[in-house]
Amino acid sequence: MSLAFAPIRSSVPAVVGARLTVPLVTGELVPYANLDHAASAPCLEQVRDAVDELLPWYASVHRGAGFASQVCTRIYEQARHAVRRFVGARQTDAVVFTRNTTDSLNLLARSLPKGTSVFVFDTDHHAALLPWRGPRVNRLQTPATPAEAVRVLDEALKAAPVGPRLVVITGASNVTGEVWPVNDLVRCAHSHGARTVLDAAQLAPHRPVDASTAEVDYVVLSGHKLYAPFGAGALVGRSDWLQQAEPYLIGGGATRNVVDWGDHLGVSWSKVPERHEAGSPNVVGVHALAVACGVLARQRWEDVKAHEEKLFAQLKDGLATVPGFRELTLFGEEAPDRVGVVSFTVDGHDAGLLAAILSAEYGIGVRDGAFCAHIATKRLLSTSGAEGGRALRISLGLGNNAEHVSRVVGALRRIVADGPKWEYELVDGRWTPKNDPRPLPPFLADL
């Protein structure tokens, strides 16, 4: 007798690669457990389908007379509205398409008025920490609580010289997953006449962003964190500083007119947003980003949050049973909210070796290292009493299920108890299986 099972219906969007299998060094094939969403999230199926639908129409954007060019131009410009709605921005806010969050923050850094004072916490990701230059950059020390973060910012703003000011705010830490007190920090900044930029790269895939309600001046995000891995990001915010700045890149699109004056070229620049979008636009990536924004905006955020919180609770309970587990945390019990990220160490075990074993012997993808937030990670490692300068990070998202969580917890417990099944060696600073027998996918053979 055969039994028919009804398909499992999920309340959250499906991702590409949910049925991907990967080889193990032991010769088996297992379903891939992608527990590295914080680095790059998988593609939503609806995003893939939208890209496939666009590709036959793919053509130049702006100034093209052909019908396909007009279609792509319409898609590109409509994407601005989708991204603006997704982050709850004002209708007057500019939407400048970039490559990613890092690109967006570097663009904003290049657009600051002369003499701008910048305030940034030293626990931020390098994309938010490093673009700012000059004597008026104020690095704020790691706060122990959300309330202390606001107090530290308030004191720094009081002591700063007059003039334009910008406060850099991280929505959620890519190291610990802890959500920062965005609204309180924005209110503090505005009470001193400062503008704010919200790094929403880690927050936007997990929680709704409402820039107008929070009165955030600028929001930056990345498509590849938002289930749209096609090379697009965005800077959304007030246009005056962007309009006054020299173009971030110089080339076609950024120029309104070029005149040959003999000894030099006279150039007049386009207005924002084209002013900072020189070159041929990434229409495929921008369309993918817009579709992802639309899918998540239509999705009930309660469903996304409930899905992730259930898995996160399972993960936290499971990791607590791993001998030698030490979690990294900024705020401890004071954290008001967390997205599904846990960074940790296991006493007596190298984080890089653990990551290699999880991949090679269990088909699990995690991240090890300092997560492009070296100051934060090293400081938290020191605070937790862990050895070495690297941690292991597990990050959850829409592509995960309960089996993934059970597998990684069980694998860590077995590794601690029995060690690896295979031999490993350091190659160029990274652990890898000796004589790795895992075959690469066939499509690489032709490259």
CATH code for the domain of 146: 3.40.640.10
Average pLDDT estimate for 189-200: 98
Residue 74 lies in a domain: yes
Average pLDDT over residues 399-413: 98
What kind and span of H or E run contains 381? helix 374-384
- The pLDDT assigned to 267 comes to 87
pLDDT score of 354: 98
278 part of a folded domain: yes
Strands 21-23 and 265-269: unpaired
For residues 93 and 205, the answer to whether their CB atoms sit within 8 Å is no
Domain identity same for 252 and 389: no
**Does residue 185 sit within a domain?**
yes
Same domain, 125 and 142: yes
148 and 161 both lie in a single domain: yes
Residue 67 lies in a domain: yes
* Residue type at 66 in one-letter notation: G
C-alpha span between 363 and 22 (Å, rounded) = 6
Residues linked to residue 86 through DSSP beta bridges, in sequence order: none
> pLDDT value at position 265?
86
Residue 403's identity, in one-letter code, is E
Residue 184 pLDDT: 97
pLDDT at 10: 59
Taking the C-alpha atoms of residue 40 and residue 44, their distance in angstroms, rounded to an integer, is 12
In a domain, 3, yes or no: no
Q: Are strands 233-237 and 218-222 parallel, antiparallel or unpaired?
A: antiparallel
Domain assignment of residue 253, yes or no: yes
Question: How far is residue 445 CA from its own chain's centroid?
Answer: 31
pLDDT of 262 > 90? The answer is no
> In the predicted model, what is the mean pLDDT of residues 135-148?
94
Task: Count CB-CB contacts under 10 A for residue 29.
Answer: 10
Structure tokens that stand for 40 in this block: 């790059």
Looking at the annotation, which residues are catalytic?
Answer: 372
Whether the pLDDT of residue 187 is over 80: the answer is yes
Average pLDDT over residues 187-208: 97
Indicate if the pLDDT at residue 4 is higher than 70: no
- Burial of 142: CB neighbours in 10 Å, binned 0-12, 13-18, 19+: middle
Q: What is the mean pLDDT of residues 231-252?
A: 95
Same domain, 261 and 375: no
Give per-residue burial for 69-83: e unless 16+ CB within 10 Å, then b: bebbbebbeebbebb
Instruction: Report the CATH number at residue 313.
Output: 3.90.1150.10
Question: Quick one: pLDDT at residue 180?
Answer: 97
Quick: pLDDT tens for 212-238.
999 999 999 999 999 999 999 999 999
Q: Does residue 2 belong to any structural domain of this protein?
A: no
Residue ending a domain, among 237, 264, 298, is 298
pLDDT digits (tens, 9 = 90+) for 281-325: 999 999 999 999 999 988 788 999 999 999 999 999 999 999 999
Shared-domain flag, residues 179 and 328: no
Residue 124's domain spans which residues?
47-298
Q: Identify whether residues 221 and 304 lie together within a single domain.
A: no
Q: Are 353 and 166 in contact (CB under 8 A)?
A: no
Query: How do strand 33-34 and strand 94-98 relate by DSSP bridges?
Result: unpaired
Domain boundary among 298, 329, 362: 298
Do 199 and 60 lie in a common domain?
Answer: yes
pLDDT tens column, 337-393 = 999 999 999 999 999 999 999 999 999 999 999 999 999 999 999 887 776 789 999
Element spanning 152, H or E: helix 146-159
Average pLDDT, the chain: 93
Residue 273 preceded by cis peptide, ω within 30: yes
Strands (E), 102-223: 117-121, 137-140, 165-170, 195-199, 218-222
Q: What is the pLDDT of residues 51-106, one digit of tens each?
A: 999 999 999 999 889 999 999 999 999 999 999 999 999 999 999 999 999 999 99
Q: Does 147 share its domain with 259?
A: yes
Q: What pLDDT was estimated at residue 1?
A: 29
Which tokens sit at 432?
A: 């890898």
Q: Of 298, 313, 333, which residue is a domain's last?
A: 298
CB 224 within 8 A of CB 38: no
Q: How far is CA 28 from the centre of its chain?
A: 32
CB atoms within 10 A of CB 17: 12
38 and 79 in a common domain:
no
Statement: residue 3 has pLDDT above 70 = no
Concatenate the DSSP letters of all residues of 230-263 into one string: SS-EEEEE-SHHHHHSPPSS-STTTEEEEEE-SS
Number of domains in the chain: 2
Q: Which residues, other chains included, contact 162 with Cβ-Cβ below 8 Å and sequence gap of 6+?
A: none
193 in a structural domain: yes
CA atoms within 13 A on the CB side of 155: 10
The answer to whether residues 35 and 113 belong to one domain is no
Is the pLDDT score of 5 beyond 60? no
Q: What angle do CA 174, 172, 407 make, to 5 degrees?
A: 50
Same domain assignment for residues 292 and 363: no
Look at residue 8 in the predicted model and tell me its pLDDT: 39
Specify whether 394 is located in the same domain as 356: yes
Per-residue pLDDT band for 11 (boundaries 50, 70, 90) equals confident
